[in-house]
Structure 1
């Protein structure tokens, strides 16, 4: 008899304020516990999401509240996909290409570690722009 696994597609949204990121982080921890993700995988997902959302608030929206930051969590037993979406300024291509190494600290402004961390922790990343906004897709394999 084949086991049938439930797949999930969960959507969260916050205002573009840094104080809202903590609430979003708590929501992701709750989702991860419900889905019985390991502490290690959940911690990695949370760090990637927080870094991506902080980048959206700081760079895409330039610290201006009143804008929508959307996070979609797609779960299957094999993987979790986070899709972080916004309608702000687009990300420079040099920041979202899959470099897979930490940038040189001497070349970074203060706080410039976000995409480097995401690239190291994710199994794959993709960035696209369409009529609904900017979308960073972050994939983490669970097996």
Structure 2
């Protein structure tokens, strides 16, 4: 007998203002608790999402409010996939094309940890651009 499970596809959207990232983070924690994700996996997903959304606001939208940042959460028992989408400036290929080492803190004026943390925590990462905008796909295996 095959075990049935629910598969979820949840969409969240915020305005491109840093103070709204906290609300998005709280929503993801609520989703994770509902899906009974471990605290460890949920913490990693939350960190990846927050870093990605902060990057969108800071770089794609250059700290300008009034723009849409979308996060889609796809869940199956095997993995959680986050898709962070925007219609701002595209990410330079060197930033997303390959895994990066964590930067040396002494070399950073401020920030600079975002994509390094995402590459470190994600089991897979992909960046795509289409007519609707930019999309960062990150996945975390649950098994």
Say yes or no: does 1:41 pair with 2:41: yes
1:21-63 Cα shifts (integer Å, max 9, x gaps): 0000000000000000000000000000000000000000000
* Cα displacement (A) at 1:79: 0.2
* Cα displacement (A) at 1:100: 4.5
Q: Which residues in structure 2 correspond to 1:2-81 (within 5 Å)?
A: 2-81=2-81
Aligned to 2:123: 123
For 2:3, what is the secondary structure of its paired residue?
coil
What TM-score do you get using the length of structure 1 for normalisation?
0.97
For 1:120, what is the secondary structure of its paired residue?
helix
Flag as ranges the 4+ runs of structure 1 deviating above 3 A. 104-109
* Cα displacement (A) at 1:107: 4.2
Classify 1:142/1:51 alpha carbon distance in 2 versus 1 (closer, same or farther; 3 Å): same
What TM-score do you get using the length of structure 2 for normalisation?
0.97
For 1:40, what is the secondary structure of its paired residue?
helix
Equivalenced residue count is 143
Structure 1 residue runs of 5 or longer lacking an equivalent are: none
Structure 2 residue runs of 5 or longer lacking an equivalent are: none
Task: Give the whole-Å Cα distance in 2 for the aligned partners of 1:11 and 1:50.
Answer: 15
Q: In 2, are the aligned partners of 1:119 and 1:125 still within 8 Å (CA)?
A: yes
For 1:4, what is the secondary structure of its paired residue?
coil
Task: Give the whole-Å Cα distance in 1 for the aligned partners of 2:107 and 2:129.
Answer: 27
